Amino acid sequence: METSEQLKELVKEKYSQIAEQNRDQNESSCCGATSYCSTVDYTVMADDYSKIQGYVPDADLGLGCGLPTEFALIKEGDTVVDLGSGAGNDAFVARSITGEKGKVIGIDFTEKMIEKARVNAQKLGYSNVEFRQGDIENMPMAANLADVIVSNCVLNLVPDKQQAFTETFRVLKKGGHFSVSDIVLVGELPGGLKQSAEMYAGCVSGAIQKDEYLSIIQKTGFSNVAVQKEKRIILPDEILKDYLSADQMEDFKKGKTGIFSITVYAEKPETCCAPGCCD
C-alpha cells in the first residue's frame, strides 16, 4: 500500500500529464487519473459548464464531477479560494461573480497546472485571479481569509481528508462557507467491482463512504452541513456483468449502494470553540 507521500507524488505525476492534454483527451482517460481504460463513458463524471457565466473552454480539462460554483452562493466582492484549481475553470467562473472588487485564489499541487492556469488568466487580463502551488493539507495562505471555498472532484484524491477540511476551516472567515463536489461511496460494492470502477473512472480512487465524508466535515467544526446535489455514477453493464448476475445487476441499479457525485455545503460558525476559529 502506498504511503501518503507516494500517493501525492502519483497524483502530481498524473496531473502533470493531464495538464498537457485537452478536454477530449482527458475525458477519454478516466477522469484523467488513469491510462489503462478500454471502455469509457466520458460523461460519467463531468457536468456541463458551457452555459455558465464566466466559462472559459481553454480552462476546462473535463476533470470535475459537479458544478460547485453554481451552488456556492458567491457574492460580488467576495474572496474565493478554489482547491485543486487545475487550469482555472472554477476560478474563472467564480471571478465572473465576484467581479473586479473580489479576489479569487486557486491552489493546485501540480506545477504544470499552475503554469497553465496563469497563462489562461493572463489571456483574460484578470489582475484579481491568482494561482498558488501548494498542498491542500497545508495551504499556502493566511487564516480567516476566504469568504467562500470551492473544490471540484479533488478532495477524494487527498490522503488525509480530515487535515484538508481542517485547513479549509482555518482559511475560511468566521461566517464563511464552502461548496465542494466530490465522489463518495454508499454501501459496500460487490466483490472486485470497486477496483473495476476505478479503472473505468479514475476519480473513484480515494473515495470514501458518504457518511464518513459528512462526518469528517461535522467533526471539523462546520455547521449547517447539507448535500446540495447528488448524482449516481452509472457503471456500464460491461463492468457489472463480470461481478453480478442479471438479477443482481437489476437489484444493484435499483438499490442505494453505488458510487455518487455529491456537492456539499457547510459554514464556519460566527462564534465557536473549534480549532482554527480564532487563529
Residue 227's pLDDT is 98
What are φ and ψ of residue 235, in 5° steps?
Answer: -90, 140
Q: Which DSSP state fits 15?
A: H
Residue 127's pLDDT is 93
Residue 13's pLDDT is 58
Q: Which residues pair with 131 in a beta bridge?
A: 106
Residue 191's pLDDT is 72
- Side by side, the strands of the sheet bearing 129-133 are 129-133, 103-108, 79-83, 146-152, 172-186, 258-267, 223-232
Query: pTM value?
Result: 0.85
Which of 249, 235, 152 shows the shortest CA–CA distance to 194?
235
Q: Is 173 helix (H, G, I), strand (E, B) or coil?
A: strand
Which of 160, 172, 181, 179 shows the shortest CA–CA distance to 11?
160
Q: Which domains does the chain have, with CATH numbers?
A: 4-267 (3.40.50.150)
Q: Which amino acid is at 6?
A: Q
Q: Per-residue pLDDT for the chain (279 aa), expressed as one digit of tens each?
A: 466 665 655 555 565 455 455 555 554 444 433 333 434 343 467 788 888 999 999 888 877 889 999 999 999 999 999 999 999 999 999 999 999 999 999 999 889 999 999 999 999 999 999 999 999 999 999 999 999 999 998 998 888 999 999 999 999 999 999 999 999 999 988 777 877 777 677 677 788 999 999 999 999 999 999 999 999 988 888 888 888 888 888 888 888 899 999 999 999 999 755 555 555
Report whether 180 contacts 228 (CB < 8 A): no
